[in-house]
Structures are given as C-alpha cells and as structure tokens.
Amino acid sequence: MKKIFVLVSNIVLILTFLSAFAWIIKEANNNSELLGKSFDKAIIKWSSFPDKFSRALEQLNKIKIIEEKIKIK
C-alpha cells in the first residue's frame, strides 16, 4: 500500500512539473510580449507545490501510523 502511494504521488509530482514547463513554453510561443506575464503566472503555480508536497507527506505519515497500528494488533 505504501509503495503504491509513493509511486502514485511521485508520478503526480512529475506530471505536474512537466505540465508547468509545457504551459510556460506554450505561453511563450503564443505571444512573446506576454512572456513576462506567463512567467508571473508560472511562479504563482510553482508557489503551490510546497503545499501540495507537504500534504502528500502528511498522507504518507498517516499511512505509516496506520500500518504501525495494524502491526501492533
């Protein structure tokens, strides 16, 4: 269960990074005048990553606690 959660969270994290890069490139190609604005939007998106990552770690810790309780019983 833990390995599946870690695998899924890693895949989601990688896909999120790739989508952010693809979005920056798409915006830069659409209109080079908006390049500065697209980077501002990208920075806003990147600023939410630590929060998402910390939530994933919290979920992983909850899974560890549940596994320990099951082992004790």
> Which residues constitute the domain of residue 24?
2-72
Domain count, the chain: 1
Cα–Cα distance, 40 to 16 (Å, whole number): 17
The one-letter amino acid at 70: I
Taken as a whole, the chain contains a residue count of: 73
Is the full-model pTM beyond 0.85? no
Predicted pLDDT at 72: 74
| pLDDT by position in tens, the chain (length 73) | 778 878 888 888 888 888 877 777 776 666 655 555 556 666 666 666 667 677 777 777 887 787 778 777 6
Residues 6+ apart with CB under 8 A from 71: none
Question: How far apart are the C-alpha atoms of 16 and 30, rounded to whole Å?
Answer: 21
